[in-house]
Amino acid sequence: MKKAAVLVLAAFITSVSVPVFAEEMKGSKDECLLASKNCKGEVDSIQQKIKKLNTEIKKGKKVYSTDELKKLEAKLKEANDILDNLMKY
């Protein structure tokens, strides 16, 4: 009986905490895009990088400072320029 109660309690706690954790991650900064930190094992195509940058920029000032947004926008411009150059040939 105790095992069943513990299992039910564990399932309940997990089901409540997962959405909260997901919401926290939604509002967090992408340090890999911003400062090339925590990028271990991440390899993106130029299109994927552009998509990620657009997603992060859309988070706006709720997540990023003005300077950080400028850095992300500069990286987006650079990625778009690279893509344009690749498409020329």
pLDDT tens-digit map of 55-78:
999 999 999 999 999 999 999 999
Q: Alpha-carbon distance 25 to 52, whole Å?
A: 14
Q: Which residues contact 73 (CB under 8 A, 6 or more apart)?
A: 57
Q: What pLDDT score was predicted for residue 5?
A: 58
Query: pLDDT value at position 17?
Result: 52
Cα distances (angstroms) measured from residue 87 to each of 39, 49, 54, 80? 27, 16, 20, 10
Residues of the chain with pLDDT below 70 are: 3-27
Number of structural domains (the chain) is 1
- pTM value is 0.64
List the domain range (segments joined by +) for residue 15: 2-88
Q: What is the pLDDT of residue 34?
A: 79
